[in-house]
Structure 1
Amino acid sequence: MIVQNLSSQKPFTTKDGSQIRSILDRTNAPVANQSLAEASVPAGCVTQRHYHKLSEEFYFILEGEGEMGLGEETRQVGPGDAILIPPGQFHDIRATTTLRFLCCCAPPYSHEDTYFE
């Protein structure tokens, strides 16, 4: 059985500029098909617009308020909102107040699968 506690995970910055703490992924468990991380974006900041060729993502907002950009659409998001980000879809998230959210990727997140405009 693999059990990872969030508090024991060291944060790193993804290619899009968000601060991530991996919960379960290839770096800390025998994960093959997905990854789970906690992401945070400080108030007033925005991640760099990007897409993933392979990964489908879910964001689940835990705390804070912001604006999710997906393709040509934008929408206000807050606690309890779940967002589907299909592979190949440009996206970014802007924090009105500091955002904390879960990010699930399948296949697992990798810097190599992050592309910019």
Structure 2
Amino acid sequence: MKPALKTRYADRPAYLTKDGSEIRELLHPAEHGNYNQSLAEAIVKAGCRTLLHRHRLTEELYHVIAGSGLMTLGEAHFPVDVGDTVLIPPGTPHCIEAVGPAPLHILCCCSPAYAHEDTELL
């Protein structure tokens, strides 16, 4: 498959992941021909929280682009705001809650690329 050099946000359909967040895959190897990572936007509705989960193989980076949240990362709990980036090592239990009146929007970079099979609900 020839790699996609560009995708349009408006052309990417949203779906729900196992953790309960709405995801829009911006680039994913299964569809776009890239190899080592995926990039998606996750939206957590105001007042909602994703389910506690972990990924056995995948390292994730969360970058907050809108809203405010409360991150649970292993035993740690801390606030996140626009401009914050969080490293989630493989095997680390995590979830995030949207606090405040607006939805929380996060760019999620996964390496290797996101796969439902690598998500274990806790």
TM over 0.5: same fold? yes
Paired residue for 1:24, among 22, 27, 30? 27
Answer yes or no: is 1:42 the counterpart of 2:45. yes
Q: CA deviation at 1:6?
A: 1.2
4+ residue stretches of structure 1 with deviation over 2 A? none
Paired residue for 1:93, among 89, 93, 96? 96
Q: CA deviation at 1:28?
A: 2.3
Conserved 8 A contact 2:29-2:36: no
Q: Which amino acid letter does the alignment assign opposite residue 54 of structure 2?
A: Y
Paired residue for 2:10, among 7, 11, 16? 7
Specify the alignment match of 1:106 in structure 2: 111
Q: Per-residue CA shift, 1:66-116, capped at 9, x if unaligned?
A: 100000100000100000000000000000131001000000000000002
Q: Secondary structure at the match of 1:28?
A: helix
Count of residues in correspondence between the two structures: 117
Q: CA deviation at 1:37?
A: 0.2
Q: Secondary structure at the match of 2:34?
A: coil
Percent of paired sites with the same residue: 46
Answer yes or no: is 1:72 the counterpart of 2:71. no
CA RMSD of aligned residues (A): 0.9
- CA distance in structure 1 between the partners assigned to 2:58 and 2:24 by the alignment: 18
Specify the alignment match of 2:58 in structure 1: 55
User: Taking structure 2 as the reference length, what is the TM-score of the superposition?
Assistant: 0.93
Q: CA deviation at 1:14?
A: 0.6
Paired residue for 1:83, among 86, 102, 108? 86
User: Taking structure 1 as the reference length, what is the TM-score of the superposition?
Assistant: 0.97
